[in-house]
Amino acid sequence: MNLVLIQPGDEASLQAITLARSLGGPVHALLIGSDEGASELAVDVVHVARHDGLTGFAPDAWARITTDTADRIGATAIVAAGTERGNDVMARVAARTGQPLAANCTSVDARRSHRADPHPLGRQPVRGGPPALRTGAADGSRRTPWRPIPPAPPARLRTSQPTSMTPISW
Amino acid sequence: MKILVCVKRVPLTGGKMVLTADEQALETKHLGFTISPHEECGVEEAIRLVEAHGGESVVLTLGPAEALEQLRDAMAMGISRAIHLETDGGEFDPEATVAAIADAIAADEAASGPFDLIFLGNESADSGGYQVGLRLARRLGRPCATGLKGVVVEGAQVRCEQESGGGRDVYTLPLPAVVTVLEGLNLPRYPSVPGRMRAKSKPVAATAPDRAASRLERVRLVVPEGKAKQAEVLGTGADAAGAVVDLLEQIGVA
């Protein structure tokens, strides 16, 4: 089960859903502060966190809500769009959970593993110059190099399978 | 105030990237090195804050012996002293980096008091991990604001300004705090010749940290195929005239 943190009005969050789907298993989405656009997300469950103090962006609060939601549903991976806010919250989530974080991945492949416990292998663009690519295994195991995979297309609305929403109150 | 700036030695890139034979690093035989640009602004801001409020500024780096060059550069700008966590050149992943830096901070604070403010770059110019500052803050139990374009110390707190959607988000953090900054925060000064001379005699505390096992491992680097622009030689001297005319007609200018 994978959890996607949705940033309102952000196209990259839809791509994050597609990426989370590629990891396999059910995909849950988390909206914080507002349920706007919840019905259009191509996920199995939408969680909405509401609180009077969540009207603006509060990175520590977002990280705590994301971590608590992931714990509650037993998420094996947490995915968010690599925006400035997304990277901020995800780093806080990684620090809270003590898990590794691969930032700004353009693709993730959970199938290429020679171990019994597969871990995602991500591609990261290297900053500061012409684009080179970096591949990283999130579990420290050495893997065989793999071919580049094109960026995933945005997730589309699935009208045949309506999403369900699980309200969460803090 | 006592201020720490964490910097990283990164290659100066700008042309074609060439990888080492094992595809684990950039070929740097013909490249220069510099302080990661975001962190250079952190160095400048630390110097300005100490000039305004008094105190001491310290620069820290985790890197090979050659990274001493970047520490001297920061001290030439005006930083008081340096801490060099010297590595054998092997890669520290973000968690291992934070462990090494946090241990060094604990040792320095035990010897000379706590840092009021710790500066890091929002992300490094090479690996772009976006997490060392926040992980360090969590480990130290201090608040953290990221991606800052404005840092103002106001008494026992720091006002942090972050660009957001055409405006600015403003955070106020109690000191001590950790902040990660972006290029554009200020215009870093150019080290003066006397500054460079003084930097040679400023103290550098060097230690060799243990490297924790990596959980985010680089498998290899890949340079994607680019669309290289190639020049086609049409000919030389008068013999090329026909080909030039044909080309001009082909592109519609003759």
Contacts of B13 in chain A (CB under 8 A): 128-130
pLDDT on residue B15: 66
Q: Are A18 and A153 in contact (CB under 8 A)?
A: yes
**B222 to A132: CB separation less than 8 angstroms, yes or no:** yes
Which of B13, B15, B221 is closest, CB to CB, to A128? B13
- Distance (Å, whole) CA B6 – CA A156: 43
CA distance A56 to chain B (A): 10
**Comparing B120 with A164, which gets the higher pLDDT?**
B120
What does the pLDDT look like over A14-45, one tens digit per residue? 888 988 888 888 999 999 988 888 888 999 99
Report, as ranges of residue numbers, the positions in chain B whose pLDDT lies below 70. Answer: 14-15, 224-230
Contacts of B148 in chain A (CB under 8 A): none
Distance of CA B158 to the CA centre of its chain: 22
CA distance B46 to chain A (A): 23
Angle of the B94-112 helix axis to the B132-140 helix axis, nearest 10: 50
Residue A12, burial from CB neighbour count under 10 angstroms (0-12, 13-18, 19+): middle
Looking at residue B91, the DSSP 8-state letter turns out to be P
**A87 to B16: CB separation less than 8 angstroms, yes or no:** no
pLDDT on residue B248: 92
What does the pLDDT look like over B159-176, one tens digit per residue? 999 988 788 999 999 999
Best residue in A101, A119, A123, A149 to probe B by mutation, most B CBs within 10 Å? A101
Mapping DSSP onto H, E and C, the string for B169-231 reads EEEEEECCEEEEECCCCCCCCCCCHHHHHHHCCCCEEEECCCCCCCCCEEEEEECCCCCCCCC
pLDDT on residue A124: 56
Q: Quickly state the pLDDT bin for A117 (edges 50, 70, 90).
A: very low
pLDDT on residue A54: 86
What does the pLDDT look like over A59-104, one tens digit per residue? 999 999 999 999 999 988 899 988 888 999 999 999 999 888 888 8
**A128 to B217: CB separation less than 8 angstroms, yes or no:** no
Q: Quickly state the pLDDT bin for A159 (edges 50, 70, 90).
A: very low
**A134 to B221: CB separation less than 8 angstroms, yes or no:** yes
Q: In whole angstroms, how far apart are CA A38 and each of A9, A21, A28, A62?
A: 11, 17, 11, 17
A33: enclosing H helix or E strand: none
**Residue partners of B160: CB distance under 8 A and separation at least 6:** B145, B148, B150, B151, B170, B171, B172, B173, B179
Contacts of B102 in chain A (CB under 8 A): none
pTM of the predicted protein model: 0.82
pLDDT on residue A103: 84
Angle of the B37-53 helix axis to the B68-77 helix axis, nearest 10: 40
Type of residue at A85: R
Query: Can you tell me the mean pLDDT for A151-165?
Result: 36
Residue-by-residue DSSP string for B12-29: ---S---B-TTSSSB--T
What does the pLDDT look like over A131-154, one tens digit per residue? 334 444 443 333 323 222 333 333
pLDDT on residue A127: 42
Q: Quickly state the pLDDT bin for A123 (edges 50, 70, 90).
A: low
